[in-house]
A and B are shown apart, each in its own frame.
Chain A
């Protein structure tokens, strides 16, 4: 639990020490308050690993079984803890294996620093063994990257890397370090980075825009809030709740905004987007003021932009100027950190309630309940549903767990039905839709919140993309709970094939191994459930376990996730079946 403590960041060494570049990297990590990194050794990063050996009492290195998993674990850690996750890999294939994690962290704004070894400076460009141009490769999927070729650059660049990763809209930074820079010595002195002159991480709030936003909200008859991860990253959960309650505005979450507000809050009305809730989607096109907070109008949220909230005045609270007017025109754009801007907005907001309007969300919920939800969470048909499994997890964890999901049907079902009371509790791959994310991300999530229950809910497809991480879980004795919802299909693709490709199930049938035996092969407790009568007890057994636990639930093979906005359709045209 040591690494849950808040660390003093950026202690400044009193006088320079003469040390190697490799040790300097460790010293930089320690100065940034890092006590945990994920990685995989190899030739070009060996000097740093040699130093890690010497510092293992202060800096824990978790050996994943694939570099992609190191990146996802760092992401999971960052997402639950709010701190920068760190992953390390060697050059060449080690570095390229990080790429999916970098891309995922970039699109989901996750603060991660990846350190890669590189061939010696004199070999750069010679197609040396395990040389790859990771700077070129990672440029479009990093917030910033840099190749260190001299030991003396290390302190300044590492400080900058952490500053950039965590500040403003967070994101991944890759630092590539040539082997000579690891061996060479430098006079080490650490100065934390306080700013970069060409980079303005948090725009200063403009009071005029805030007043304009307040006026629109105060005059609105049918105001509607859609909140995203910006609320979590900006630590604006309390301000969001205060706004929702003071102005009486119904609020819906984007997939990454989920858990920023208590699921059971009466004004928290559901999820927007392709498989979101009925009311939150349909009523987007009936509100008169749409208040978007820390979200970026992804196409999975908006559906067809031509018919998205055209009747509404749009207020966009956003930290990244490049997101304003990118997809949806903002009548009022409020730039800045959401905590700060909402804090300035709140005193200007009139106490209000919109009972009739909120009632419309409740009415729509009833319709959805009849058509979809009841059958999902209280099924009467023989086959088990994903929804009832998630409901059992809710019951067993008291809405207090961190729930990590992969990508696909199980993810949509979980994000619809999982209940949360605490922020930073929904860890999923949103923007990139990375299958294989959940298992390694759950490792990071657990280590970022050792005192919390962490449940990974994964499909049988994505599970097998990073299944090797069961070894990491076992080796590090991490009590992660793993639920695989097995329908022997790539379920979401199969659903699309059924609905839009006349049920031609091209390459979506999975002939799966015995998952229980595999988990047992990794010395994990494991169980399979295929009967409703056993489900509640099996979930309870899993949650009660002090160690890692694998639960396979055999669910109905050809269930579909509804509601659904067909690709390219309007949010108003969401289908209940």
Chain B
């Protein structure tokens, strides 16, 4: 089976230590995490991990079942790129004088559909949201002029298919009251 990018989505309780527990599952199998993002989800009090790995589907499936086995994980899924809508965001910090000295920079800003987040006397900051290759392209275009700082977020993704977390939690609530 060939290696491929998979996006793993994990719905979990928001508890100290869970990140450690989840990352340990990758560590144990010597699998590198390509990117990791943790945020709140559409359900109050429920966190969402978005983890990207480059490995085989068979490994991904096993990792997901191991993640789901963790007590505080509500549900975990994995998807291919085709099955998700996903984005990354990058910030570029660049010396302000370049904005006036280098005409090409203004073209890059326009063509890349990036935003100027802030401008000061010394530097300005560009934000770009999109696919990895779009951000990489912009990086290569800006690199010759000198990038003071660069950072890119982990992938965030939503699946095209439903994830059905709310019914799952409701089912638990129901069995709780039955007991």
User: A: which residues have CB within 8 A of B?
Assistant: 135-136, 139-140, 143-147, 164, 194-199, 320-322, 324-326
Contact = CB atoms under 8 A, between A and B. Distances in A.
B175 A195 contact: yes
A144 B71 contact: yes
B60 interface: no
A194 B176 CA distance: 8
Nearest to B22: A139
B176 A198 contact: no
B128 to A, nearest CB: 36
Determine which residue in B13, B17, B66, B74 has the highest number of CB atoms from chain A within 10 A of its CB, and name it: B17
A194 B179 contact: yes
B88 interface: no
A139 B175 contact: no
B141 interface: no
Given A194-B179, A322-B66, A143 B16 contact: no
Binding site secondary structure of chain B: helix
13 contacts: A135-B17, A140-B21, A146-B17, A164-B71, A194-B179, A195-B172, A197-B173, A197-B176, A198-B13, A320-B69, A322-B62, A322-B66, A324-B65
A199 B179 contact: no
Interface string B18-37: 00110010011000000000
Nearest to B179: A194
A321 B73 CA distance: 14
Contacts of B169: 197
A299 B179 CA distance: 40
B65 A198 contact: no
Given A140-B28, A326-B62, A321 B172 contact: no
B71 A139 contact: no
A116 to B, nearest CB: 15
Interface in B50-86: 61-62, 65-66, 68-69, 71-74
Contacts of A136: 17, 20
A139 B21 contact: yes
Closest 5 A/B residue pairs (Cβ): A322-B65, A197-B172, A198-B74, A144-B71, A322-B69
Given A144-B71, A198-B73, 17 more contacts: A136-B17, A139-B17, A143-B71, A147-B16, A147-B17, A194-B179, A195-B179, A197-B169, A197-B172, A197-B176, A320-B69, A321-B68, A322-B62, A322-B68, A322-B69, A326-B62, A326-B65
Contacts of B9: none
Contacts of A143: 71
Contacts of B28: 140
A198 B66 contact: no
Nearest to A321: B65
B12 interface: yes
B14 to A, nearest CB: 11
B69 A321 contact: yes
A198 B72 contact: yes
B20 to A, nearest CB: 5
Nearest to A160: B71
Determine which residue in B62, B69, B175, B176 has the highest number of CB atoms from chain A within 10 A of its CB, and name it: B69
A86 B62 CA distance: 31
B68 to A, nearest CB: 7
A263 to B, nearest CB: 33
Contacts of B13: 198
A195 B17 contact: no
A199 B65 CA distance: 13
Interface in B125-177: 169, 172-173, 175-176
A512 to B, nearest CB: 37
A316 to B, nearest CB: 13
Contacts of B68: 321-322
A194 B175 CA distance: 10
Nearest to A197: B172
Contacts of A324: 65
Nearest to B73: A198
Nearest to A140: B24
Contacts of B179: 194-195
B127 to A, nearest CB: 34
Contacts of B12: 198
Nearest to B58: A325
Contacts of B176: 194-195, 197
A135 B179 CA distance: 32
Given A139-B21, A139-B24, A140-B24, A198 B175 contact: no
A273 B39 CA distance: 46
B71 A198 contact: yes
A143 B28 CA distance: 15
Contacts of A146: 17
